[in-house]
Chains A and B, each alone.
Chain A
Amino acid sequence: MGSTLTGQGSATPLAPNRPPSPFGRAASSLRARPRIGDPLFKLATGFFAVLIAAFAVLIMVEMAINSKLSIAKFGFGFLTRSVWDPVAEQFGALPFIYGTVVSAVIALLVSVPISLGVAIFLVEKAPPKLSNPILFIVQLLAAIPSVVFGLWAIFVLAPTLRNHVYPALQSTLGFLPLFRGNQNGLGLLTAGLILSIMIVPIITAVSTDVLRAVPGTQREASLALGSTKWEATLIVLQNAKSGISGAIILGLGRAIGETMAVTMVIGNRPQISASLFDPSFTIASAIANEFTEASGEIYLQSLIELGLILFFVTFIINMLARLLVWSVTRGEGRGAHV
C-alpha cells in the first residue's frame, strides 16, 4: 500500500527509543518536552472514526430493543407468517419479504446487462473523451433523488406501462400467471422497473472501477494471441468476476433498501400474488407508509422489527459486496461512492 509512510512509518523518527542525539543537551531537552498533542490528536480523531463505525452496532441494538415485544410475541415465525392485520394485532413479514425480493430481482434482471454493457463500453471501447462525460452523466443519474424518480414513475412510467406495455405483455405472455390480471399500472413490475433505472448508476460505477483495475497486460496478452477485442474483453471479465459480482450485490443492496420511489408506485398492499401486475409492498415501503399511522405498541414494534430485518440483510449484503469489490481493487482509497 502506498500509505505506509503516512501511517506508523513516519512516526519512527519520533519514537522514544532512538539512539542518543549527537547534538547534545539542546536536542535532548527538545525531546524531553512532553509531546501530548500527538496522542491527544490521535485519540480525538479516532473517537469520531469509531463513532461513525459504531452506528452499525448502535442502530442494530436500538432497533432490537424497540421491537422486543414483537420479537417475543411472534418469534422466528414473524419471518414466515403472511398475515398483516393491525386490527387483530397479528403480524408477519412474509408478504413484505416477498415484495422486496421480487422487485429487487426484477430490477437486477433489467439493470445488470445494461450496467455491464455501459461499463464495458466505457472501459474497453470508448476513448476517454467520450467515456468521461458518459460516466459523469451516469453519476448525475445517481444524484437524482428517489422521490423524484417516484414522481416520474407515478405520472409518466406507470401510465405508459398501463396503456401500452402491460396489455401487450398480457396478450403475448398471458399464459403465464405472472402477466395476468389487474393492470392499473401500480404494482410489483412497475416498482421493479423504476428500481432498475435507479440502480444502473451504482452497478455501472463500481463495475467501471473494477474493470479499470484489471491490468492492461491481460488485454494485450489476449490480443497478441490473436483474439478479437471482444474476446479480450471476455478474458478481462473473467478476471474481474468477483469484483463484478460485488457490484451486482451492491446494486441488490440498493434495490432492497430503496424506499420512496417504490412506495409511490408499488400499490402498497400486503399480499403475495402470482401476478407481477398486482399491488404489493416492500419492507422499506411498508415502514414508510405505515410508521406514522401505526397505532398500538405491537403494531409499531412489528414495523421496527421489519426495519431490523431490512438493516441486517442490507448490512450483510453490503459487507459481502465490499469484500468482493476490495478483492479486485485492493481496498485502496479510490472507489465509487455513489
Chain B
Amino acid sequence: MSNLARRKLINNSMTVLTGLCALFAVASLFLILGYIFWGGVRGLSFGFLVNSPKPIGEPGSGIANAIVGTIILITLGSVIGMPVGILGGIYLSEFGSNKFGLLLRFLIDTLTGTPSIIVGVFVWTVMVHPMGHFSALSGGVALGIMMMPIVARTTEEMIRLVPHSLREAGLALGAPRWRVTLGVVLRTAASGVATGAMLAVARIAGETAPLLFTALGLNYLSTNLLQPMASLTFQIYYYAQSPYEEWHDMAWAATLVLVTMILALNIAVKILTRNRHQQA
C-alpha cells in the first residue's frame, strides 16, 4: 500500500511539475511583453511614428524611415517569395506523393531551419558583392528566399485539406487537371493559403540577420530600391547597441511598434483559421 501511495505521490507531483513548466512558458511571454509595453509606451507618440531620426539631443526624433523601410522590404520579399512558394507548394501537393516529392519536401523542410544569417551572407555573395553596394532590393531577395520554404509547405498543407470529392467533381466535368487545381482546389484553399502567407510575412517582418549585409540601414527616409534602406529590426539593433539613453528609449518604442505588428498578424491568423474550423 505504501508502494501505491508512493506511485500516486509521483503521479501528482509530476502533474504539478509539468503544470509549472507550462506556467513558466506562458509567464515568460507575458513578462517580455510587459517589459516591451512599459519600456516602449513612454517613447511612443504621433511624432515618433511620422518623423525621421534627428541628431542626438534634438527633440521630435522618430522612426518613420524604419516603418516605411520595413513595409517596402516585406512587400519586396512577398513579391519574390510568395509566388515561388505557392507554386512550389502546389507541385508538392498535386504531384509530390512519390519519392521525388518526398525528397523535395525533405530538403524544403530542412531549409526552413537554415540560420537566417546564412541567407544574408548568400545574398551578399550573389547580389551585393557583384553590384558593389548594399541595396533594399537585395534585402528583399533575402527575405523572399526565407519565405519560400515556409509558404510552400503551408500551401501544400492547405491544399491537402481540400476534399477529394471537389477535385473529382471538377475532373468529371472534363476539365483538365491544371484548371481543376487552379480554379477549384486552389480557390477552395485560398483563405488557408493566404493565412499561411500572412504567417510567413509575420516571420520575416522580425528578421534582422538577413538584412545586416543586404539592406543594411539608413538614417533617413528613402524609397530607392537600389540604395540601402532602414528597417525596424535593424534600427532596434543599432539603437540598442548605442551608448545613448535616448536611443535606448527609441529602441524600446520601435520594438513596441514591431511586436504589435507581428502579434496582430499572428492573432489575426488565429482568428481567421478558427472561424474556418467552425464552419467545417
The chain A residues found within 8 Å of chain B, CB to CB, are 1-8, 10-11, 13-14, 30, 35, 37-38, 40-42, 44-46, 48-53, 55-56, 58-59, 62-63, 65-66, 113-118, 120-122, 124-126, 134, 136-141, 143-152, 154-156, 197, 200-201, 204, 228-231, 233, 250, 253-254, 256-260, 264, 284, 287-288, 291-292, 303-304, 307, 310-311, 314-315, 317-319, 321-322, 331, 333-334, 337
Whether the pair B10, A228 counts as a contact (CB closer than 8 A) is: yes
B208 at the interface (CB under 8 A from A): yes
Which of B25, B36, B174 has the most chain A CB atoms inside 10 A of its CB?
A: B25
The chain B residues found within 8 Å of chain A, CB to CB, are 7-8, 10-11, 14-15, 17-22, 24-26, 28-29, 32, 35-36, 39, 83-85, 87-98, 101-119, 121-122, 124-126, 129, 145, 148-150, 152-154, 156-157, 160, 164, 167-168, 171, 174, 176-179, 181, 202-203, 205-209, 212-213, 216, 233, 236-237, 240-241, 248, 251-252, 255, 258-259, 262-263, 266, 270
Whether the pair A49, B113 counts as a contact (CB closer than 8 A) is: no
In the complex, what's the smallest C-beta–C-beta distance from B224 to chain A, in angstroms? 20
Which A residues are in CB contact (< 8 Å) with B150? 337
Whether the pair B164, A41 counts as a contact (CB closer than 8 A) is: no
Q: How far is the CA of A121 from the CA of B89 in the complex (A)?
A: 33
Whether the pair B88, A322 counts as a contact (CB closer than 8 A) is: no
Which B residues are in CB contact (< 8 Å) with A8? 97-98
Whether the pair A121, B21 counts as a contact (CB closer than 8 A) is: yes
- Dominant secondary structure at the B interface: helix
In the complex, what's the smallest C-beta–C-beta distance from B187 to chain A, in angstroms? 15
Whether the pair B104, A230 counts as a contact (CB closer than 8 A) is: no
Whether the pair B15, A200 counts as a contact (CB closer than 8 A) is: no
If the complex has contacts A117-B20, A143-B263, are A228 and B8 also in contact, measured as CB distance less than 8 A? yes
Name 7 A/B residue pairs within 8 A (Cβ), A-sorted: A41-B181, A48-B84, A66-B125, A134-B26, A146-B209, A259-B115, A259-B208
Whether the pair B262, A144 counts as a contact (CB closer than 8 A) is: yes
**Which of A7, A10, A260, A318 is within 8 Å of B110, CB to CB?**
A318
Q: How far is the CA of A14 from the CA of B181 in the complex (A)?
A: 15
Whether the pair A257, B88 counts as a contact (CB closer than 8 A) is: no
In the complex, what's the smallest C-beta–C-beta distance from B174 to chain A, in angstroms? 8
Which A residues are in CB contact (< 8 Å) with B102? 331
If the complex has contacts A7-B98, A117-B18, A260-B237, are A45 and B88 also in contact, measured as CB distance less than 8 A? yes
In the complex, what's the smallest C-beta–C-beta distance from A334 to chain B, in angstroms? 7
Q: How far is the CA of A292 from the CA of B134 in the complex (A)?
A: 10
Whether the pair B236, A148 counts as a contact (CB closer than 8 A) is: yes
Q: How far is the CA of A11 from the CA of B180 in the complex (A)?
A: 12
Measured CB to CB, the nearest residue on chain A to B148 is A52
Whether the pair B118, A307 counts as a contact (CB closer than 8 A) is: yes
Whether the pair B126, A53 counts as a contact (CB closer than 8 A) is: no
In the complex, what's the smallest C-beta–C-beta distance from B126 to chain A, in angstroms? 6
Measured CB to CB, the nearest residue on chain B to A315 is B110
Which of B91, B212, B259 has the most chain A CB atoms inside 10 A of its CB?
A: B91
In the complex, what's the smallest C-beta–C-beta distance from B267 to chain A, in angstroms? 8
If the complex has contacts A44-B87, A288-B209, are A264 and B237 also in contact, measured as CB distance less than 8 A? yes
Whether the pair A51, B22 counts as a contact (CB closer than 8 A) is: no
If the complex has contacts A117-B20, A151-B255, are A337 and B118 also in contact, measured as CB distance less than 8 A? no
Whether the pair A52, B25 counts as a contact (CB closer than 8 A) is: no
Which A residues are in CB contact (< 8 Å) with B93? 3, 6, 333
Whether the pair B208, A48 counts as a contact (CB closer than 8 A) is: no
Q: How far is the CA of A136 from the CA of B111 in the complex (A)?
A: 24
Which A residues are in CB contact (< 8 Å) with B156? 333
Measured CB to CB, the nearest residue on chain B to A134 is B22
Measured CB to CB, the nearest residue on chain B to A261 is B208
Whether the pair B116, A231 counts as a contact (CB closer than 8 A) is: no
Which A residues are in CB contact (< 8 Å) with B98? 7-8
